[in-house]
């Protein structure tokens, strides 16, 4: 199968390459084109998933596809943006039709759910599977939810249970083919696109939790020039997670585990989400009641350590 046939068969499928009012043209020319609504700006984010680092090639390619698009779309949720379309750079050693079929169906599952069709990309052969996705969305001009607006006196909220992403990892490593139970939070961390729309008018700052709550809160503190007092006992965790790994380990996962793709945001007040702390003027760092921050802060996920 040549490159053009592969694109046609797996990536121009109408389940994946469907019309969107803001997409002028997609696959088939030298560029794709997006026209944001009037008074809107385009926002976009790029994420790479490497076989053996961010996923296991032994997982179902459907699950790899859902995860790849979910984690990238989460950055649009982080800005309270509405999805428009995504591009895919897929590097694979061989064009296995079963793998490609499952992968494109996984992408399509999430693309349909969040009205975000594929609009372009590049497929290349290489010794190792590498998946890069760029998502594009729009937000009213000047209304993107930034990391930089938190103010002393604001409260700190999260959108849902934390720790499941990290808690799922041991299950995934043990049985990469099982995407049920906790592992579903790993393979389908559904981006909180709708939730973000609901809090947009209240929130002063926000982001998605990908590297671990504490490390990501540090990003908000640095960008907003504030500090935070976090009450660990108010952090929501699933009964599944606590049952599986115990309260202490669940708390560690919730604080530092990463891969949750929930939203964390600040607001003077907000009817949505769960309050986990407060924004303070000093010290300009994240403090967790009853815990030594140094022990925890160094454990967020980082490449190239």
Rank residues 167 and 212 by Cβ distance to a second copy and give the closer one: 212
For residue 208, the cross-strand partners are 263
Q: How far apart are CA 78 and CA 73, in angstroms?
A: 9
* 137 marked as part of a ligand binding site: no
SS3 274: strand
Task: Candidates 33, 58, 175, 201: give the one binding a second copy (CB under 8 A).
Answer: 33
Min dist. Cβ of residue 22 to a second copy (A): 10
Q: 192: which DSSP letter?
A: -
Q: By CB under 8 A, tell whether 161 contacts a second copy.
A: no
Q: Would you state the structure tokens that stand for residue 225, as one six-digit string?
A: 């020039």
Cβ–Cβ under 8 Å, residues 254 and 180? no
Q: By CB under 8 A, tell whether 128 contacts a second copy.
A: yes
Q: By CB under 8 A, tell whether 149 contacts a second copy.
A: no
Helices 213-224 and 247-256, axial angle in degrees (round to 10): 40
Q: By CB under 8 A, tell whether 118 contacts a second copy.
A: no
Q: Would you state the structure tokens that stand for residue 270, as one six-digit string?
A: 């907000």
Q: How many CB atoms lie within 10 A of CB 44?
A: 19
Q: Would you state the structure tokens that stand for residue 192, as one six-digit string?
A: 């909180």
- Choices 55-63, 74-82, 156-164, 241-249 (CB under 8 A): range interacting with a second copy: 74-82
Task: Catalog residues that contact a second copy under the rule CB under 8 A.
Answer: 1-4, 6, 24-25, 28-36, 41-54, 75-76, 78-79, 81, 87-89, 91, 94-95, 120-128, 130, 132, 134, 137, 139, 141, 144, 146-148, 207-208, 223, 302-305
From the annotation, which residues make up the binding site? 30, 45, 47, 54, 75, 121-122, 147, 208, 210-211, 259, 301
């Amino acid at each position: 199968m040549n490159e053009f046939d592969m694109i046609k068969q797996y990536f121009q499928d109408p389940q994946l390459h469907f019309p969107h009012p803001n997409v002028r043209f997609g696959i088939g020319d030298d560029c794709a084109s997006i026209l944001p609504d009037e008074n809107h700006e385009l926002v976009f984010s790029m994420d790479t998933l490497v076989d053996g680092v961010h996923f296991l090639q032994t997982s179902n390619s459907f699950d790899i596809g859902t995860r790849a698009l979910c984690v990238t779309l989460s950055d649009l949720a982080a800005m309270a943006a509405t999805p428009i379309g995504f591009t895919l750079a897929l590097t694979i050693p061989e064009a296995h039709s079963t793998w490609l079929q499952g992968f494109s169906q996984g992408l399509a599952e999430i693309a349909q759910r969040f009205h975000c069709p594929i609009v372009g990309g590049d497929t290349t052969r290489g010794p190792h599977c590498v998946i890069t996705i760029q998502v594009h969305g729009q937000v009213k001009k000047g209304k993107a939810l930034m990391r930089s607006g938190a103010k002393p006196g604001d409260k700190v909220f999260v959108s849902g249970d934390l720790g499941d992403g990290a808690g799922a990892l041991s299950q995934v490593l043990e049985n990469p083919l099982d995407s049920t139970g906790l592992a579903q939070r790993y393979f389908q961390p559904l981006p909180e696109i709708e939730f973000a729309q609901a809090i947009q008018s209240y929130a002063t700052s926000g982001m998605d939790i990908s590297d671990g709550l504490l490390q990501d809160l540090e990003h908000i503190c640095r960008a907003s020039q504030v500090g935070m007092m976090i009450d660990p006992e108010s952090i929501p965790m699933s009964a599944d997670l606590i049952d599986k790994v115990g309260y202490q380990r669940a708390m560690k996962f919730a604080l530092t585990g990463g891969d949750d793709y929930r939203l964390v945001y600040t607001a003077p007040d907000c009817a949505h989400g769960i309050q986990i702390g407060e924004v303070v003027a000093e010290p300009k760092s994240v403090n967790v009641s009853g815990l030594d921050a140094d022990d925890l802060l160094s454990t967020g996920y980082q490449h190239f350590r």
